[in-house]
């Protein structure tokens, strides 16, 4: 399910000590690893290099007491990767935290949405007005010089 591009969207990101973070990008990577069985394919699905994907997996494995992803080196069948039971639980809990956050913030997000300024497309007329006022001001200053 894709969110409406114009909708307000809360984004969950958990900051750990020592600059470690856990957010939607790493969770999306885990989903792709689960679907493809490959860190490389998961990275390609997200338009990232294998090295970047591998570094993110390595970060997650280092952040927790248990590994999140297990990988096997290539051989006759080639390499592969899969989520551990802990990785499955982490992904599931993170998605549940996101749902809880959306539910808990629904009224506040509706209020923000009802009170936000028009989008850039709608406000382009007011930008033109402001720009023309700026031009007028610049003309006056030049004529006064």
Helix 50-63, helix 24-36: angle, nearest 10? 110
pLDDT value, residue 5 = 72
pLDDT value, residue 30 = 98
End-to-end CA distance of the chain, in Å? 59
Buried/exposed code over 112-139 (b: 16+ C-beta within 10 A; e: otherwise): eeeeeeeeeeeeeeeeeeeeeeeeeeee
Given a contact cutoff of 8 angstroms between Cβ atoms, the answer to whether 64 and 86 are in contact is: yes
pLDDT value, residue 79 = 73
pLDDT value, residue 125 = 53
pLDDT value, residue 78 = 65
pLDDT value, residue 134 = 54
What is the C-alpha separation between 73 and 59, in angstroms, rounded?
Answer: 19
Q: What is the mean pLDDT of each run of 10 residues along the chain (145 residues)?
A: 73 94 97 96 96 97 97 72 97 98 96 88 54 51 46
pLDDT value, residue 123 = 57
What is the C-alpha separation between 43 and 49, in angstroms, rounded?
Answer: 6
pLDDT value, residue 6 = 85
């Amino acid at each position: 399910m894709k969110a409406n591009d114009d909708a307000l969207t809360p984004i969950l990101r958990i900051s750990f000590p020592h600059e470690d973070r856990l957010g939607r990008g790493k969770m999306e990577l885990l989903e792709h690893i689960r679907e493809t069985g490959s860190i490389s394919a998961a990275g390609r699905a997200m338009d990232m290099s294998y090295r970047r994907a591998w570094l993110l997996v390595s970060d997650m494995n280092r952040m927790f007491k248990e590994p999140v992803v297990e990988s096997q080196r290539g051989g006759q069948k080639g390499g592969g990767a899969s989520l551990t039971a802990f990785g499955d639980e982490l992904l599931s809990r993170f998605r549940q935290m996101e749902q809880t956050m959306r539910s808990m913030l629904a009224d506040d997000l509706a209020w923000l949405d009802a009170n936000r300024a028009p989008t850039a497309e709608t406000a382009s007329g007011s930008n033109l007005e402001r720009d023309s006022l700026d031009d007028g001001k610049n003309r006056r200053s030049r004529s006064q010089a």
